[in-house]
Structure 1
């Protein structure tokens, strides 16, 4: 994989905000929904997403910059020994249990506990993972695969409505127990990637929808994206930029049941190229129907 900094087009000292802005810009440009059938755009979108997965995570970015992991996030597992663990001052109680999860050597444990160590049962330690998922996967739910350090994979069920930073627990998927003890759990911290169009506020979704001058003046039904698919939104006559319309029940699944709403902010867009006919019409119209949109500002 190419250097993620090069893929996003940012300097190595770029701020986290600059990295996110670069990702949003490129993700929107190459998003498969905006480039149907374009395999090149689809591959670029995947590369941009993978680059952001690494650089958008402060810990991963630091490890990449220090050369501890490569551009794909691959690394060599670090083996800890009891001497290192004992020197950390954690040799006892719950801390030791977690420490066992790091080195997991039965002969070392037997030595620690003495000749009777073989009779001691101990629960395996919990293992923490980080999993980045798409915005829509978090909103709608998904079942992605998570690759483990030993090369195996586990399926992670992402419940609909999962939030950024939320931790999911997979019971029994952690380190094996010692001497017949139960295994620990896998704790999956979820990172939700930003979406090119949607943003989330609690259980509601917000989106800015461009509309034409004709749609703003005459009104009508306009196809509008939602996390669950496109719907027809009724634009009232005389709509302005900044007008907010609500799509009830098109937001995020609530923990106690029900759905949030989607709020659509309209943005009137003129043609990309100047239109002489439109200019002529507006010039005639404005002379006969002049009005001051800034009257309330007293300027």
Structure 2
């Protein structure tokens, strides 16, 4: 709810139309959003000052306010049986012409905002449209290699979003001019927050990825090469001789991205025994007969 319009403009109750207009011109230039980008407090004060001028800048509304027939928001104080509410601070309010109908706002602002202040018909000020926000879920592979994915907004619009290589979880992509339309000004932007979906193979730990890597028993004992799946395809990894299950091998620079830096891929070895291998069974029996193997040291 708006405050006392006289206090908002800093004028006395007996102020003339010229004094009211002068006070508004000074405050509007000082508080206009184009002069205070990103300043929410200035934007809110600008709205209150404009609402105050909407009342005091119109002779009929000013008289009604002074008589207590409408409040500072332009709403009628006594609605009787009709129940008709007043208008918004920027609309027609309690009746009569809008405050901007008889005021040349281009004269007030002197073109300082590039034609953003316009007169007539209650069109008000040119303003940029609001930004819209949305979340887009992408795959781990898309975040690493880049891709183009389509997103649909609540209003039915569909846009293709270019996912940059090395995108991180929570990263925001700004699409210029794809937000809500402005009032005589440019449209807002679309802010797309990226969320990396859970992967069936890899587990993310910051920028690092972990995975279980099956390895043949013979390669674990004798050493060898094992094919390893990475987000960008399969590579061959060297398995050292005498590797046990649970041993972790690190593939540098094959992980995910975080804060622009790429992590590693950590492959946890899981030894796989061959099925129905009688030779392996006989070797194991002979080794057991020679003496028990202690998996842990005393």
Same fold (TM over 0.5): yes
Structure 1 counterpart of 2:219: 215
- Tell me if the contact between 2:249 and 2:268 (Cα under 8 Å) persists in the aligned partners: yes
Decide which structure has greater helix share: 1
Structure 2 counterpart of 1:93: 44
The separation in 2 between residues aligned to 1:216 and 1:223, in whole angstroms, is 13
What SS does the aligned partner of 1:143 have?
Answer: strand
The separation in 2 between residues aligned to 1:235 and 1:109, in whole angstroms, is 74
What SS does the aligned partner of 1:282 have?
Answer: helix
- Tell me if the contact between 1:160 and 1:253 (Cα under 8 Å) persists in the aligned partners: no
* Deviation sequence 1:39-85 (CA, Å, 0-9, x none): xxxxxxxxxxxxxxxxxxxxxxxxxxxxxxxxxxxxxxxxxxxxxxx
Do residues 262 (structure 1) and 265 (structure 2) align? yes
| Structure with max Cα Rg | 2
Gaps of 5+ in 1: 1-91, 97-107
Higher alpha-carbon deviation: 114-123 or 204-213: 114-123
Report the CA distance between 1:109 and its aligned residue. Answer: 9.3
- Tell me if the contact between 2:249 and 2:267 (Cα under 8 Å) persists in the aligned partners: yes
What's the C-alpha RMSD, in Å, of the aligned pairs?
3.0
Q: What is the aligned counterpart of 2:187 among 183, 186, 191?
A: 183
Q: What is the aligned counterpart of 2:149 among 144, 148, 157?
A: 144
Structure 2 counterpart of 1:68: none
Decide which structure has greater strand share: 2
What SS does the aligned partner of 2:130 have?
Answer: coil
Report the CA distance between 1:111 and its aligned residue. Answer: 2.4
The separation in 2 between residues aligned to 1:127 and 1:254, in whole angstroms, is 25
TM-score, with length taken from structure 2: 0.57
Higher alpha-carbon deviation: 152-161 or 121-130: 152-161
Q: What is the aligned counterpart of 2:281 among 272, 279, 282?
A: 279
The separation in 1 between residues aligned to 2:266 and 2:92, in whole angstroms, is 60
Gaps of 5+ in 2: 1-42, 48-87, 101-121
The separation in 2 between residues aligned to 1:238 and 1:289, in whole angstroms, is 19
- Tell me if the contact between 1:110 and 1:118 (Cα under 8 Å) persists in the aligned partners: no
Report the CA distance between 1:242 and its aligned residue. Answer: 1.3
The separation in 2 between residues aligned to 1:112 and 1:121, in whole angstroms, is 19
Structure 2 counterpart of 1:288: 290
Do residues 244 (structure 1) and 195 (structure 2) align? no
Q: What is the aligned counterpart of 2:237 among 233, 245, 251?
A: 233
Runs of 4+ in 1 over 4 A off after TM superposition: 253-256, 273-277
Structure 2 counterpart of 1:31: none
What SS does the aligned partner of 1:128 have?
Answer: strand
